[in-house]
């Protein structure tokens, strides 16, 4: 029997045998958990992927009275391998940047002291709206890959990753504070501006 108390899961009646909720959450997000080996016949997939590179640049406006951050302009240069359909590739980059803006500025999972998720619906979980999306300029850099079809590389997921760093750097350039936690909500930016980060 287990018991949940004071942010810990413990063996009932043996309070010194416990694990914290923080440890459970951290372990649940790890990749490559140890699994028992699988024996039998089959084929394995090629686990080698094409390396790609990207450079992102954001221009932001920060309201010092509220901490609100608006992304005014965004440039995303990405190694796409060979752009078989450039319009589709640009669309994937646009979508990835918008997802990254959500991750950087809006999306946060909030829990209460009992571990209950408070942002479980779209009424509570903030996402970017069209008014939050700036002009996005994708720059396609073509370095074909021998591993991809016709030299193509994956283009949908890579543009999400650099967005938070680009926005954090733009905030640093704009107001001189280094944001180190996402989402960079107005409350967090305002606290950083006041030296309370």
Q: Which residues pair with 111 in a beta bridge?
A: 117
10 Å CB burial of residue 63 (0-12, 13-18, 19+) is middle
CA distance linking residue 45 with residue 102, whole number of Å: 33
Among 113, 157, 187, 196, the one annotated catalytic = 157
Interatomic CA distance for residues 45 and 38, integer angstroms: 14
Rg (CA), the chain: 22
Reply yes or no on whether 90 is catalytic: no
CB atoms within 10 A of CB 101: 27
Q: Which residues are catalytic?
A: 157
């Amino acid at each position: 029997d287990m018991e949940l108390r004071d942010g810990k899961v413990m063996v009932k009646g043996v309070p010194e045998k416990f694990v914290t909720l923080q440890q459970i959450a951290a372990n649940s997000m790890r990749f490559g958990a140890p699994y028992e080996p699988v024996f039998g016949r089959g084929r394995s997939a090629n686990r080698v992927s094409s390396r790609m590179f990207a450079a992102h640049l954001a221009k932001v406006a920060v309201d010092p009275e509220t901490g609100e951050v608006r992304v005014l302009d965004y440039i995303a240069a990405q190694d796409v391998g060979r752009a078989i359909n450039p319009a589709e590739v640009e669309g994937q980059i646009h979508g990835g940047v918008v997802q990254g803006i959500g991750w950087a500025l809006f999306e946060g999972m909030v829990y209460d002291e009992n571990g209950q998720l408070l942002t479980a619906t779209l009424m509570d979980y903030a996402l970017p709206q069209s008014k939050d999306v700036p002009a996005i300029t994708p720059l396609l850099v073509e370095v074909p890959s021998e591993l991809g079809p016709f030299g193509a590389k994956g283009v949908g997921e890579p543009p999400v990753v650099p967005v938070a760093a680009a926005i954090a750097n733009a905030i640093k350039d704009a107001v001189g504070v280094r944001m180190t936690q996402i989402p960079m909500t107005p409350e967090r930016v305002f606290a950083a501006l006041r030296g309370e980060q």
